[in-house]
Amino acid sequence: MATTMTTETSGMPEPIRNGEGAPILGPRNVPLERENPDLLISPWTDNGTIPNLKFSFATARNRVLSGGWAREVTARELPIATELAAVNMRLKPGGIREMHWHKEGEWSYMLAGRARITAIDAGGRNFIDDVGEGDLWYFPAGLPHSIQGLEEGCEFLLVFDDGHFSENETFLITDFFKHTPREVLAHNFGVPQAAFAEIPVDVAHDRYVFAGKVPPSIERDAVESPAGTVPQKFSHRLLAQEPVKAPGGQVRIADSVTTFPASKTVACARVEVEPGAMRELHWHPNVDEWQYYISGRGRMTVFAASEHARTFDYQAGDVGYVPFAMGHYVENTGDETLCFLEMFRSDHFADVSLNQWMALTPPELVKAHLNLSDETMAALSKQKQIIVR
């Protein structure tokens, strides 16, 4: 485990290392410096220029409404993150995320509380489920759906398969009604125009996230469709999966190839790293990696080839990003379990382990590159299936 790089003088973090650097004399933001010690004093292994790979939801604009709130991190906030965007949303008990749809696929992880989700597909088959902490859902692009907080309310992470997507630009049912002539609505539904006299028509009646009553039991709330239910469930109990365990932690993987068939465009891994342990050195051979930190503190160095590398520090609520094929690790730098999500715009999870590559390559070839001893090679040859160590 690497040592902390910051040097403190009189209780203040200072960019001083082994006699190099000097104390800060000008204006400064000490709390931010303490959160990012590897930016204040970059490890000597960092080199060159790599774009920013961190953004915190704590610094995102929060849209506060009667039913809760929502804040987002897109390519606008984190320009390198072109493949995925995300929304952190809170619903009060009974709070409703308005019935809507969008051009992007929506994947979600429930952070706390419980919610009821509903949807239909193009065949008129419907879906309804109650989801709790650690559960996932996925709604394919174009399919209408809703989310409502249950008795305890809820908070969740929404991830969309386009980094430039904004949750503020969804297709809302009230917006659709508002911009359709009343006579057309009346004709479409076979009722008088007066039936639509009270539909919201201005910003003050925005239903994006609005207060509502806690719904009844799912049995009472369910609506039977003549076409039946959707062929693949749009929800998945991730924490009910048996984790893949390793000496330093564990991981659960969900994608459309293995455990969550409906999730066609987003794959994930929920990683837990114990204090003093790390998510091993690796890279992903198919797509970029988008990260969300649930708990704990960690650090990550990203290797971008051509002698370029940069180190970042993360904590709960932060977003991290690793561009396609760049080598990296995630180390627990705190005293509690580090838990984070690895997200990919893909139908499957894939990674390449540096340990496995070296262990499964002829030893003499590896030795010729790195000048390693026979004893070291013997130890490396045993490390063929490590994820967290």
Given a contact cutoff of 8 angstroms between Cβ atoms, the answer to whether 82 and 136 are in contact is no
> What is the pLDDT at residue 94?
98
pTM of the predicted protein model: 0.94
CA distance 359 to 79: 37
Q: Rounded to whole angstroms, how far apart are CA atoms 239 and 237? A: 6
Numbered ranges of CATH 2.60.120.10 in the chain: 57-236
**pLDDT-derived band of residue 7, with 50, 70 and 90 as boundaries?**
low
Average pLDDT over residues 382-389: 65
Q: Residue 136 above 70 pLDDT?
A: yes
Give the per-residue pLDDT at 351.
Answer: 95
**Alpha-carbon gap, residue 188 to 127, rounded angstroms:** 24
Distance, in Å, from the CA atom of 338 to the CA atom of 342, rounded to the nearest integer, reads 13
Give residue-wise pLDDT tens across range 163-200: 999 988 899 999 999 999 999 999 999 999 999 999 98
Residue range 117-121: mean pLDDT, rounded = 98
Cα–Cα distance for residue pair 167/157, rounded to 1 Å: 12
Reported confidence tier of residue 4, pLDDT bands at 50, 70, 90: very low
Please give, one letter per residue, the 3-state secondary structure of the chain.
Answer: CCCCCCEEECCEEECEECCEECCCCCCCCHHHHHHCHHHHCCCCCCECCCCCCEEEHHHCCEEEECCEEEEEECCCCCCCCCCCEEEEEEECCCCEEEEEECCCCEEEEEEEEEEEEEEECCCCCEEEEEECCCEEEEECCCCCEEEEEEEEEEEEEEEECCCCCCHHHCEEHHHHHHCCCHHHHHHHHCCCHHHHCCCCCCHHHCCCEECCCCCCCHHHHCCCCCCCECCCCCEEEHHHCCCEEECCEEEEEECCCCCCCCCCCCEEEEEEECCCCEEEEEECCCCCEEEEEEECEEEEEEECCCCCEEEEEEECCEEEEECCCCEEEEEECCCCCEEEEEEECCCCCCCEEHHHHHHCCCHHHHHHHHCCCHHHHHHHCCCCCCCEC
Residue 5 pLDDT more than 90? no
387 falls in which pLDDT band (50, 70, 90)?
low
Catalytic site positions: 342
Tokens of 20: 């190099």
CA 308 to CA 31: how far, in whole Å?
A: 28
* Mean pLDDT score of the chain: 94
For 57-76, what is the mean pLDDT? 97
Task: Render pLDDT for 317-367 as a digit per residue (tens, 0 to 9).
Answer: 999 999 999 999 999 999 999 999 999 999 999 999 999 999 999 999 999
Strand partners, 308: none
Lowest mean pLDDT among 32-41, 91-100, 371-380: 371-380
**What is the percent of the chain with per-residue pLDDT over 70, rounded to a whole number?**
95
Taking alpha carbons only, the member of 337, 338, 147, 347 closest to residue 254 is 347
Amino acid at 246: A
In this prediction, residue 383 carries a pLDDT of: 73
The pLDDT, as a whole number, for residue 6 is 47
Q: Beta strand 20-21 with 16-17: parallel, antiparallel or unpaired?
A: antiparallel
| 200: its two tokens | 């919201």
Query: What pLDDT digit, counting tens, does each position of 217-276 carry?
Result: 999 999 999 999 999 999 999 999 999 999 899 999 999 999 999 999 999 999 999 999
CA angle 275, 280, 281 (to 5 degrees): 135
CATH code of the domain made up of 57-236: 2.60.120.10
Q: Rounded CA gap, 157 and 71, in Å?
A: 10
Nearest alpha carbon to residue 81 among 159, 155, 156: 159
Q: Is 272 exposed, middle or buried (0-12, 13-18, 19+ CB in 10 A)?
A: buried
